[in-house]
Structure formats: structure tokens, C-alpha cells
Amino acid sequence: MTFTTRFAPSPTGPLHLGHAYSAIVAYDMAESEGGDFLLRIEDIDQSRSRAHWEDQIYSDLKWLGLTWPQPVMRQSERQQTYNQALDDLWDRGLLYPCSCNRKDIAAAASAPQEGAALLGPDGIIYPGTCHVRWQGTDLSKRARPKDQPLRLDIAKAANLVFGDTNPGGCFQELGLGPLNESGHIVFTPEELRATIGDVVLSRRDMGTSYHLSVVLDDAAQKITRVVRGQDLFEATRIHVVLQALLDLPTPAYLHHRLIRDEAGKRLAKRDDARAIAKYRADGASPLDIRAMVGL
Ligand code: GLU
């Protein structure tokens, strides 16, 4: 199997030092392994994606000295694949429509009997309001609604893919999680229920979600090693469950440290001051950028 890795930016703002670090780490690894480095444009959120940011991504990565094969995969062209997977999960009774908004979720999750709301990879862990509403209804007999968010019944999913096996799910971590997790990472169905909850797999405005598209795209691009920031370590358990449900291979993961500002805060898209384009305009060289991120 050819070593294949990827960099998967969203064209919703300028690439900053954190992106440069992630892309260069993945690129250098592909070079040293004699493998492939692929680029993927994660533009499912059409309300925030912009063509000029996509052009800027190509320009900045080229300037950094990176090359990648054409054509570049763009998520906005893959809705059919996402729909097929959603239909499959829906027909197996693993999804349900959710009509809760953020306020409803925050209120239900922090109701007095619930204690403090717990946070998962997608924010507040869904308290299950709509799950209860649909209990006892065989939704797979109905057509999959296209105009409502759909959530994955994580308990049912975990039961289906892991059954009674203990611990349940696993993946290979070649980097470090936020609590220095490394090596053979295992997790139980119970942990999934308690720390992840029923995540959204199809958003009303997108017709898919990050979690669903990322596993389908990594499989379609035959990615053998996912290189990305530590902030996505927790989400990897969702990805492993989806891979098992959809019969897709689980790549090895390398979660790397995050590049932070002087105050220790991780960089965000709005940190224009640390945009690669800004450093370029100020006369920095690609080697300067490597040095700035400790490479
Ligand atoms: N599109 C995601 C981001 O820009 C990357 C997701 C991933 O690498 O899995 O943060």
C-alpha cells in the first residue's frame, strides 16, 4: 500500500502558521516515506467558503514549496457520495431528525437534574431530546428528510459495530493527543455514549457534516496516514465508528501540536496577523516560515 497523506484546508479564511505547520509536516513525511501528498479542499460549508480563499491556499502552498497531484478533490463536488452514505445509514435505522437549536440543547443539557453540561468534540454533548421523541418509531420506513439535521444514534451504532467486544474501537496514534495519548488507542461503546453523544451527520445547510465527509474522502483518496492538529484527536473516535459502519479502512493518525500565539492561544482563521500571505508581503522566505513553526 502506498504511503498517502493529505492536507485538507477549508477555504474560509487565510492560511496561517498553524496550517503551514500541518501541511509541511504531512508533505515532509510523504517525501521521506517515498509516498504521496494530496490536497483536498474542504468546502462543504458553502456559506463560508470563498473562491479567493481557495486561490490563496494554492498560491501559499506553492510558495512554501509544496506540490500535489491534480485534480484536487473538492468536497462541494461530492454530495452524491455523501448522500449515498446517508441513505445507507438512514435505511439501517441509525439516524434520526433533530429539530433542536443551540439554545434548546444548552437548556436541556444544563437542566438542574443534568448537572453541568458536558463538552464533546462538537461542543455540548447532545442530551438526546429528539432521540427520545423518535424512540419506538421505525424511521427507516420513511424517506430520509433532506431539510433537517440528522443525528447518528451513537449507542446503536457502537452496538452494531463493536457488539460485545471489549474494548470496542481502536486506532493507531503516531503523534500525541492533548493528554499525551499515543500508540494503540482503545475506547468502549460506553465512552462513546458518555463523551461523544449523538453527533450531527447531515446539517440542514450542507447536506453532510465534517465527520461524515472526512471519512468518506479519506477513504476515496486512499489515505493511509492522517496528519492533523491535536484539536481533532477526540473526533477521531467518531471517525473510527463511521469507518466501521461504512466498511471503510481506518488509516493511522498523527495528531500534532498546535501552533499558538504569544498568549498560548491556538491560532484561528481570523488571526490575519499570522497569515502566510502577510508574512510573504513582509518579505519572509519559506525557510523563515519553517523556522517560525519550529521545523
Ligand atoms: N478542514 C479541517 C480544518 O481545516 C481539517 C480536517 C482534517 O484534517 O481532518 O480544520
Confidence of residue 263 (pLDDT cuts 50, 70, 90): confident
Contact 140, 90 (CB under 8 A): yes
Separation of CA 22 and ligand 1 centre (Å): 10
| 3-state secondary structure (DSSP) of residue 219 | helix
Q: What is the pLDDT of residue 272?
A: 76
Report how far ligand 1's centroid is from the alpha carbon of 206 (Å).
16
Select the more confidently predicted residue: 261 or 59: 59
Candidate of 6, 232, 239 to mutate for ligand 1, largest count of ligand atoms within 8 Å of Cβ: 232
Is there a contact between 40 and 217 (Cβ–Cβ < 8 Å)? yes
Give pairs for 216-219: CB < 8 Å, separation 24+. 216/78, 216/81, 216/82, 216/85, 216/246, 216/248, 217/8, 217/40, 217/73, 217/75, 217/78, 218/6, 218/248, 218/251, 219/243, 219/246, 219/248, 219/249
CA distance 43 to 285: 28
Residue whose cell numbers read 503516531:
174
- Choice among 8-17, 43-52, 156-165 with the minimum mean pLDDT: 156-165
pLDDT (average), residues 83-105: 96
Three-class secondary structure of residue 294 per DSSP: coil
- How many Å apart are CA 52 and CA 57, to the nearest integer? 9
Check pLDDT > 70 for residue 15: yes
Domains, the chain, ranges and CATH? Answer: 1-77+259-295 (3.40.50.620), 79-224+233-250 (3.40.50.620)
* pLDDT mean over 54-75: 98
- Ligand 1 atom nearest to 218, measured from its CA: 9
Angle in degrees, 0-180, between the axes of helices 236-245 and 154-162, rounded to the nearest 10? 60
Residue 187: is its pLDDT beyond 90? yes
57 ligand 1 Cβ < 6 A: no
CA distance 256 to 272: 22
pLDDT tens sequence across 156-172: 999 999 987 877 899 99
The mean pLDDT of the chain is 94
* Ligand 1 atom index nearest CA of 227: 8
Q: Which of 33-37, 159-163, 247-251 has the lowest mean pLDDT?
A: 159-163
CA 215, CA 209: separation in Å to the nearest integer? 10
Ligand 1 midpoint to CA 8 (Å): 5
Percent residues over pLDDT 90 in the chain: 85
What percent of the residues of the chain are helix, what percent strand, and what percent coil, each to the nearest 5?
A: 40, 15, 40
Q: Which residues are bridge partners to 16 per DSSP?
A: 275
**Atom nearest to 6 CA in ligand 1:** 8
Euclidean distance between CA atoms 43 and 82, whole angstroms: 13
CB of 232 sitting under 6 A from ligand 1: yes
Ligand 1 mean position, distance from CA 234 (Å): 13
C-beta of 16 in contact with ligand 1 (< 6 A)? no
Q: State in Å: Cα 220 to ligand 1 middle.
A: 16
Would you give the distance in Å from CA 141 to the centre of its chain? 30
